[in-house]
Chain A
Amino acid sequence: MALAWAGYDGSGGFELVESVPWIPTLGVGYKVGLDGVSLPLAAMTALLFLVSIAYPVDLRGRARQYFAALLFLEAASLGVFLALDLFLFYVFFDVSLVGMYFLIAVWGHGDSQRSALKFFLYTLAGSLAMLLAILGLYLSSEPRTFDMAELIRQQPLDGDGLRAALVFLGFAVGLGVKTPLVPVHTWLPPAHVDAPGPASAILAGVLLKMGTYGYVRILLSMMPQTYERFALPLAIVATVSIVYGALVSLAQTNLKRLVAYSSVNHMGYVILGISAAAAAGVDGDARAASLALSGATLEMVAHGLITGALFLLAGSVWSRAETYELDELGGLAGRAPAMTGAVVLAAFASLGLPGLAGFVAEFQIFAGTFAIYPAVAAVALVGLVITAALFLRMIQRAFLGALPERWASWPELSRTETLALAPVLALIVLIGVAPAWVLDVIDTTASQLVGR
């Protein structure tokens, strides 16, 4: 990945493209490559997988199968971000479900089989909706192709009324389930709660990004005019996600559920940023749109790192206490200062403290969105306030106060855990203090996408 970063020269188009015909009859090719949006995401994915694989977890005596599933999932996830062929994108998108399903079902805890099943069925339904949309797009292209670069050039469904709307809806719903946006988010909390720590880190950090990445890669790139028509409703749905996710999260007493709902909230920001960029459209405020879009992309990366770290830490809590209930924890700061420090850092980044990664991203999103949808952005700001409250409350209840008797011998983070978390936390700070190196890469593509 570092190599890919070095080889990327910033023209904004697809680079490092590798293409092999796969099913020529159907116009399907194995075509992968990178641009400014996918490069940071793919790099983040690779890092998060590395960390998760290194992170200690209860293997239930099936080490080989566990690591096989993780590596399989990593291949699928990188495939999604690198694919430049819609068919290939779908294949990787769907196959990632299988890997995650087994991770949750076999190595999860609690009612994990039920949660895994719910996760699989929900997201499969979403994928199939997207498959219909892909077919719709494919059949409207002339000559028929699944090649993304070609589809972006052709813009096959521009101005085509009902069909464009249906295809758009298929993508929006299909990707929205994965994201998840509010009406279709209910699979997320149980899946997160019952998954083992590293798996939920990947679920939140990587798999959710597939949905938002699809919004940029497919909807914004291939059918911008249709997106422009639907930008306002989507922005409103995103705002509902933001506020609802934050409020529900505030009411949780379970550490993982709390972080899970805060993901709903954060992914809402991403969709809001993308929709605002789409609304600016062809003749809108290109600067604001570009700002919102690169903010949204950075938010994907930042949220991946932050929430990944939080879920890994939650996994550590589970491996020590077998509980996520905040009420049963408390006062851990005295026993485990390093662990507390890591949680505090990640939580502050998540609530958008300046100097950390989350702030840069959210600032950009809001700066862009205010220029385009001032009213929506104002409502969404409420989400920021609630997020701050909920994370502070979480820290207070779990780590401050009196230490319960039973945790008197609470172990500190082990060396493996510390080593695994260190690069993630370091990146959160680095992006927060000096974001330019990532933003420059993202901007190359973001400005092109909205400057059309």
Chain B
Amino acid sequence: MGGALFLLTAAALASGRPPRGFYALFTVITAVLAMVGSALAWGRVTDPARGAYSAIGDAIMVDGFSVFFGIVITVAIALAALLADDYLRREGLDGPELYVLMLLSGTGGLVMAMANDLIVVFLGLETLSIALYVMAGFQLRRLESQESAIKYFVLGSFSSAFLLYGIALVYGATGSTNFSRIADFLADNLLAANGLLLAGFALLLVGLGFKVAAVPFHVWTPDVYQGAPTPVTAFLASASKAAGFAALLRVFLSTFDLYRLDWRPIMWVLAVLTLVVGSFLAVVQTDVKRMLAYSSISHAGFVLVGAEAASDRGLAGALFYLLAYTFMVVGSFGVATLVGRRGDADHSLPAYRGLSQRRPLLALAFTVFLLAQAGVPLTSGFLAKFYVIGAAVEAESYALALIAMISAVVSAFVYLRITVAMYMTVEEGDDAAAALPFVRVPPAAALSLGIALVFTVVVGLVPSPVVDFARDALPVLVSAGP
């Protein structure tokens, strides 16, 4: 059933060229079908009689965890494709290429989520990344877009190399790249000199930390997020980050669970740096896309807080956070797509002035996304923060919980700045006001924003189903493999 996801997505690539204008629809249908496939797989996996299973020579693991991420990633694809539809026509770039790349990249993400072998993680990562390098440079006429693609490519290649080296070291230390076998090996053997393994940990963390934009491996994030076409940024910030976390969480929280004493301090440092740098640097930005880029870094920090707790509760919190975050971030960048207008260049804060008067609903939606990111109650963002910080307190990481709280306050400042700009009254006769053109809201993007908005608010009000979903989606790591 998990293979069905793979096939469905692959079929999208092979099925020729659908009629012009329907690419986005096609992508969305594919993504939704994959989602349905995941939902079916979920029923299969949570059935106690059958449970999780592995496939393709133990290289792929289909369990609640991978299905959860399957759903997160397909949601991100569908929402981003809806955003891209109008964007591409507006920019005169319409064509199937971006959607194909998006599906390809999503496939890579799904592979990462299902991987039960370090090599498969690497395969998924490369599929994900190579498509993304092209997507980031998709806006051919913009220099920033080209620059961001090159930057992403160069740094991304480095991080892949780190990851690969890390895999090699772990293989050297444990004799396998299969998660189940590594875990079995580590359980059975006490390593006298585990320097090799620890170096492997470090390198794996560098490689995956790059993908999720954890500080200090974050330097590409603001530039790439700013330069890439905005729907691609939305995809980058949601699907790509989720896939990175899928691999990170599975590798560390379950496979190397026994060595948590070794990696928890590293994770602690990463989480603190990510939180602090992300939220503080966001304050000094003047470009909304860069602000959102830095805030996405600090969100990664919150997920790491959940990971650092190294408990089921922390893991469930991290999963819940990622799901809630996906909707918020796609929504936020979706608004940025619309406000950016033709040329995708104007993301400065003044462009948002008086948005509440020109487009009250759009401004309201953006306000909800921003408040959710700030963690205000009655939105999904609050429960997400509540969940991970609860896990941190339970794991007695009081200092980390406190730092997370402080950085939440600092980021709230950033979100409020944008909100204030939107609700600032533009005086009549103001020259700047006259220069602000009309913001068009096409139906596809409106649908995408609407879905994200409804999810954010409804989960804020009635979180139980999603909380349970995240709680049940724990990875089954040590399989009954041969």
- The interface size bin for chain B is 20 to 34
Whole-angstrom distance between the alpha carbons of A101 and B374 in the complex? 14
Which residues of chain B come closer than 8 Å to A60, judged between CB atoms?
425
Q: Which of A25, A91, A131 has the most CB of B within 10 A?
A: A131
- Smallest Cβ-Cβ distance to B423: which chain A residue: A106
- Smallest Cβ-Cβ distance to A61: which chain B residue: B425
Indicate if B416 sits at the interface (CB-CB under 8 A): yes
Smallest distance from the beta carbon of B372 to chain A beta carbons, Å? 11
Which residues of chain B come closer than 8 Å to A102, judged between CB atoms?
423
The answer to whether A139 touches B405 (Cβ under 8 A) is no
0/1 interface trace, chain B 21-37, chain A, CB 8 Å (1 if under): 00000000000000000
The answer to whether A131 touches B405 (Cβ under 8 A) is yes
Which residues of chain B come closer than 8 Å to A129, judged between CB atoms?
405
Whole-angstrom distance between the alpha carbons of A117 and B374 in the complex? 13
Q: Which stretch in B71-79, B91-99, B385-393 binds the other chain?
A: B385-393
Which residues of chain B come closer than 8 Å to A95, judged between CB atoms?
376-378
Whole-angstrom distance between the alpha carbons of A129 and B467 in the complex? 24
Smallest distance from the beta carbon of B291 to chain A beta carbons, Å? 15
The answer to whether A113 touches B408 (Cβ under 8 A) is no
Smallest distance from the beta carbon of B402 to chain A beta carbons, Å? 7
The answer to whether B409 touches A128 (Cβ under 8 A) is yes
Indicate if B424 sits at the interface (CB-CB under 8 A): yes
The answer to whether A121 touches B423 (Cβ under 8 A) is no
Which residues of chain B come closer than 8 Å to A97, judged between CB atoms?
376
The answer to whether A22 touches B464 (Cβ under 8 A) is yes
The answer to whether B393 touches A135 (Cβ under 8 A) is yes
The answer to whether B377 touches A128 (Cβ under 8 A) is no
Indicate if A47 sits at the interface (CB-CB under 8 A): no
0/1 interface trace, chain A 113-144, chain B, CB 8 Å (1 if under): 10011001100110011011001101100000
0/1 interface trace, chain B 367-387, chain A, CB 8 Å (1 if under): 000010010111000100010
Indicate if A2 sits at the interface (CB-CB under 8 A): no
- Smallest Cβ-Cβ distance to B471: which chain A residue: A25
Whole-angstrom distance between the alpha carbons of A120 and B420 in the complex? 12
- The interface size bin for chain A is 20 to 34
Which residues of chain B come closer than 8 Å to A165, judged between CB atoms?
none
Indicate if B401 sits at the interface (CB-CB under 8 A): yes
Whole-angstrom distance between the alpha carbons of A238 and B90 in the complex? 62
Chain A 20-45 residues near chain B, CB threshold 8 A: 22-26
Indicate if B394 sits at the interface (CB-CB under 8 A): yes
Indicate if B158 sits at the interface (CB-CB under 8 A): no
Indicate if A388 sits at the interface (CB-CB under 8 A): no
The answer to whether B376 touches A105 (Cβ under 8 A) is no
The answer to whether A131 touches B386 (Cβ under 8 A) is yes
The answer to whether B389 touches A120 (Cβ under 8 A) is no
Indicate if A17 sits at the interface (CB-CB under 8 A): no
Smallest distance from the beta carbon of A132 to chain B beta carbons, Å? 6
Which residues of chain B come closer than 8 Å to A139, judged between CB atoms?
390, 393-394
The answer to whether A98 touches B423 (Cβ under 8 A) is no
Indicate if A85 sits at the interface (CB-CB under 8 A): no
Chain A 155-175 residues near chain B, CB threshold 8 A: 166
The answer to whether residues A121 and B409 also contact, given A60-B425, A98-B376, A132-B389 and a CB cut-off of 8 A, is yes
Whole-angstrom distance between the alpha carbons of A136 and B393 in the complex? 7
Q: Which of B408, B425, B464, B471 has the most CB of A within 10 A?
A: B464
The answer to whether B467 touches A26 (Cβ under 8 A) is yes
Indicate if A94 sits at the interface (CB-CB under 8 A): yes
Whole-angstrom distance between the alpha carbons of A129 and B420 in the complex? 25
Q: Which of B386, B398, B401, B424 has the most CB of A within 10 A?
A: B386
Which residues of chain A come closer than 8 Å to B423, judged between CB atoms?
102, 105-106
Indicate if A244 sits at the interface (CB-CB under 8 A): no
Indicate if A318 sits at the interface (CB-CB under 8 A): no
Indicate if A90 sits at the interface (CB-CB under 8 A): yes
Indicate if B474 sits at the interface (CB-CB under 8 A): no
The answer to whether A23 touches B467 (Cβ under 8 A) is yes
The answer to whether A23 touches B463 (Cβ under 8 A) is yes
Which residues of chain A come closer than 8 Å to B393, judged between CB atoms?
132, 135-136, 139
The answer to whether residues A105 and B377 also contact, given A22-B464, A128-B409 and a CB cut-off of 8 A, is no
Which residues of chain B come closer than 8 Å to A101, judged between CB atoms?
416
User: Can you identify 5 A-B contacts, CB atoms within 8 angstroms?
Assistant: A22-B464, A24-B464, A92-B377, A102-B423, A128-B406
Q: Which 8 A-B pairs have the closest CB atoms?
A: A91-B377, A128-B405, A135-B393, A125-B409, A94-B377, A25-B467, A95-B377, A135-B390
- With A91-B377, A132-B405 given, name 7 new contacts (CB 8 A): A94-B376, A102-B423, A117-B416, A120-B416, A124-B412, A128-B405, A131-B405
